Structure 1
Amino acid sequence: MSKVQNYRLHFTVPTRKAAKLLKFCYFILVLLIVSCGDTNTKNSNEAQQTITQPKDTLVKNQANKTILCFGDSITAGYGLEDTNDAYTGVLQQRIDSLNLNYTVINSGVSGETTAGGKSRIGWVIKQKPTIFLLELGANDGLRGVPITETQSNLQAIINTVKEKSPETTIILAGMQLPPNMGQDYTTKFKALFKDVAVLNNLEFIPFILENVGGVASLNQRDGIHPNEEGHKIVANNVWEVLKPLL
């Protein structure tokens, strides 16, 4: 092999290696650029999430404020074409008009007694409401359930709420009976609600059907359950005690 040929061979090999090395460097450079771009995007997204998260959490916490109405057919809106016309729905409309962040939950069951309420309060209170309105007892009275039994059941419901959701404010709705149940029974029945409220230091509505009970034009044909206009007055009775708590 001549010197010239030998020179060309040695010159060609290093040139190919250099070319490969140069391509490899370009490849590494591209990877670094892409990697930095992804990192910047990721950091930007994380920063944005960090900024918006407190606001989202605040809205969520506000939306979680609830008023749970736990009762019988009066709360359930028995006999109404639209249960949103019950006093619970009227309360929600008023709350919304004032831009207050509360949701009213209707947990009324027609025919419910205090014994029935006692049996279901354990899973209902898992919602941990901000305010708990206890509206039970009317069906006990109409059935002539012993006063001591009704009072014991109400106390058990209140104890469960305090135990399972200690931050919840409890409102007790008082109830009265027509005189045909007997003077002695109706008097003691009326008094038991105030006694329970005082004993437990609860917010108290003396008579949830004030200005509605016994008024034919504000009740349905059965003379017991409020009609749509009657529920508006019931809502006013509740609102007098509820408003200061909001």
Structure 2
Amino acid sequence: MTVSCSALAFLMLPVALLGCRDGTPDSRRTGDGLSIPPGGSAAPPVVLFLGTSLTAGYGLTRDQAYPALLARRIAAEGLPHRVVNAGMSGETSTGARARAAWLMRQPFDVIVIETGANDMLRGADPDATRANIQALVDRIRAARPEARIVLLGLRAPLTLGALYARRFTALYEELADRNELPLVPSLLEGVGGVAALNLPDGVHPNAAGQRRIADNVWEVLREELTD
């Protein structure tokens, strides 16, 4: 997932990240385990996190995942936003794209997109991952032109092949530039490959790793919420 992350861990542990099939989730499969209640005229603005097990907080309690940590930071800043964690373990960018219809039925003012980790595990063509994310962005902008979109990037390890790593890592910056999106260049910066910040599987961040991820995301997200 990052340049420093062990390729062996990626290749030996696909089931951990790939535990769910692609497709539109029901409420039991979102990171919160709950469907999102309908908004109203007095409802607070919603920040929706769309992602994989990295967002869902695989192996942790819900309040240890980085969206929950960011919710506390948002509250501490006196901001009115409500956070919804729609992370789903095992999802690829194809699955995220397939969730577009479901997403359009949910209230959100800001959407944070984290997808591609499982594509990388499967050796998916970076062009296909890019196309899926672009289609998702297009769908959001067509249906919710007022919504803000934040993109979370990933860095592929060089051990997956230098050319593949360059192509995969670059797709996030390319998408951010093309669509003028705020970008977190490396979601797992300082976490990937650091044993003390990951679960024993070496792939999923532990509670301390999730705190570091929250730091990485907050640097960019805060500007979108206060601008």
Q: Shorter chain as normaliser: what TM range?
A: 0.7 to 0.9
- Measure how far apart 1:61 and its partner are: 4.5
The CA deviation string for residues 191-222 of structure 1, in whole angstroms up to 9 with x for no partner, is 01100110011011100111111111001111
Equivalent residue runs for 1:63-78 within 5 Å: 63-78=43-58
Q: Percent identity?
A: 41
SS of the residue 2:196 aligns to: helix
Aligned to 2:90: 111
Residue 123 of structure 2 corresponds to residue 144 of structure 1: yes
Equivalent residue runs for 1:18-37 within 5 Å: none
Select 1:243's aligned residue among 217, 222, 225: 222
The answer to whether the 8 Å contact 1:62/1:101 transfers is: no
- Measure how far apart 1:166 and its partner are: 0.9
Aligned to 1:171: 150
- Partner amino acid for 1:129? F
Q: What is the aligned-residue RMSD (CA, Å)? A: 1.2
Aligned to 2:14: none
TM-score, normalising length: structure 2: 0.79
Aligned to 1:98: 77
Aligned to 2:190: 211
CA distance in 2, matches of 1:71, 1:132: 10
131-140 or 171-180, which deviates more? 171-180
Look at both structures and tell me which one has the larger radius of gyration over its CA atoms: 1
Equivalent residue runs for 1:196-235 within 5 Å: 196-235=175-214
Residue 162 of structure 2 corresponds to residue 183 of structure 1: yes
- Partner amino acid for 2:155? Q
CA distance in 2, matches of 1:126, 1:244: 26
Aligned to 2:171: 192
The CA deviation string for residues 143-182 of structure 1, in whole angstroms up to 9 with x for no partner, is 1011111111010110111011111000010011223211
CA distance in 2, matches of 1:198, 1:94: 28
**Against the structure 1 CA distance between its residues 62 and 217, is the aligned structure 2 distance closer, same or farther, given a 3 Å change threshold?**
farther
The CA deviation string for residues 19-68 of structure 1, in whole angstroms up to 9 with x for no partner, is xxxxxxxxxxxxxxxxxxxxxxxxxxxxxxxxxxxxxxxxx656330100
TM-score, normalising length: structure 1: 0.73
SS of the residue 1:127 aligns to: coil
Aligned to 2:18: none
CA distance in 1, matches of 2:86, 2:100: 10
Aligned to 1:46: none
The answer to whether the 8 Å contact 1:111/1:139 transfers is: yes
Return the structure number with greater helix share: 1
CA distance in 1, matches of 2:110, 2:59: 26
- Measure how far apart 1:232 and its partner are: 0.6
- Measure how far apart 1:128 and its partner are: 3.6
- Partner amino acid for 1:70? L
- Measure how far apart 1:120 and its partner are: 0.9
CA distance in 1, matches of 2:65, 2:172: 23
Q: Structure 2: where are the runs of 5+ without partners?
A: 1-39
Higher relative contact order at CA 8 Å, sep ≥6: structure 1 or structure 2? 2
Select 1:160's aligned residue among 96, 116, 139: 139
Q: Structure 1: where are the runs of 5+ without partners?
A: 1-59
Structure 1 outlier segments of 4+, above 6 Å: none
